Amino acid sequence: MDLLSVEHLSKQYKKTQKQGGFSLQNISFSVPAGYICGYVGRNGAGKTTTLNAIMHLVRPDSGEVLIDGVSFEEDPVSYRRQIGYVGDASYFPKDFTLRDIREILADFYPSFDMKNFDRLAARWELPAKPKIKTYSRGMKVKLMFASVLARDTKILILDEATNGLDPMMRNELLAMLQEYVEDGNHSILFSTHNMEDLQDIADYIFFIEEGRKVFFQAKDELLEEYLLVRGGLSDLTPELTGRLTGIQKNEFGFSALYPVAENCVPPAGLLSEKPTVDEIIVHMLRQMRETV
């Protein structure tokens, strides 16, 4: 069962389009219950626009988003109750306090667990009285997480949410996110630049570039599809070059992705290893840039 289903989502920004700018083009993917999907791409690739369209903070020109089978148009209240969103910047009114936020959450979300919220706030040392504008960036991120983890949601939408967190907190959060999906009834869509996060917890990777889908694949399958090969520049024969993806040359040699297919092994003399998600993305971007 898909908890998040995005169908043919398109959005064009007229102002920037005139300047040869950005549009989101026919994005489709789904995230099944119990899984974490990493949503990756460069700055301006369309990640935040997609997430904002899912959150209904921007209106798409076409396409549909379903949360647990329900669209915003069918039932906006239920749609929004099912989502927990954590952005890269605090979205709380800056003059509000933690107490104000707690009161509002209790008013609007029947599943909001005040004790759990207080427990998280105490654990993360979030003061109740000061205005949110006096919080550090990390504290604001923690407050956003406390506000979504203290109520029952079906899916978490995270937009660069681990930015600004210290390594301890980041590890704690990643563990909490894994715990969140463990029961098989919740999912996470996680947009990030930090590929380490995805390497650790993502089950699927959606890669977007210039508003278009490059691939949407299970992470393990993706990692099995390529080898990262390294060799000297003299090893780069025309035949080998044709097979490689995203060749990166330097004074010592080259590195590139080598597609792993049946009966297809890298030529002798090349060093090969399993790539990370980060390395796959970087080499693919290089390939795309060279193709353009």
Partner 1 sequence: MTLLKLLKIDIKKARWNLMILVTIPLIGLAVLSERELSWSSGIFVTLYCLFGGIVVAVVPFAAENAEEAGFLEMLPVKPGLSVISHFTFSALCIMVSGGLGLLVGLIASLAGSSPSPLYPGSLNLASLYDSAFGVALLFTAIECLLLTICRYNTLQVLQLIRILPAFVFFFGSTGLLQNMETTSAIFRILNENGLVIFIICAVSFAVLAAVSRGIAVRRGR
Q: Of 33, 104, 169, 236, which lies in the binding site for partner 1, with binding defined by CB under 8 A?
A: 104
Least distance in angstroms from the C-beta of 121 to partner 1 = 16
| Residue from 171, 172, 286 nearest 228 by CA | 286
> With helix as H, strand as E and coil as C, how does 35-73 read?
CEEEEECCCCCCHHHHHHHHCCCCCCCEEEEEECCEECC
Q: Which of 16, 62, 78, 178 binds partner 1 (CB under 8 A)?
A: 78
Q: Are 216 and 210 in contact (CB under 8 A)?
A: no
Q: Does 286 bind partner 1 (CB under 8 A)?
A: no
88 Cα distance to chain centroid: 11
Does residue 83 interact with partner 1 by CB under 8 A? yes
Selected binder of partner 1 within 80, 193, 230, 286 (CB under 8 A) = 80
Q: With CB under 8 A, what is the number of residues at the site for partner 1?
A: 28
Q: Which amino acid is at 287?
A: Q
Tokens of 284: 């693919």
| Cβ nearer to partner 1, comparing 55 with 169 | 55
Helices 137-149 & 114-123, crossing angle to 10 degrees? 150
DSSP conformation class of 88: S
* C-beta of 54 vs 284, nearer to partner 1: 54
Q: Does 136 bind partner 1 (CB under 8 A)?
A: no
**252 makes contact with partner 1 (CB under 8 A):** no
Give residues in contact with partner 1 (CB under 8 A).
Answer: 55-57, 59, 72, 76-81, 83, 85, 87, 89-96, 100-101, 104, 107-109
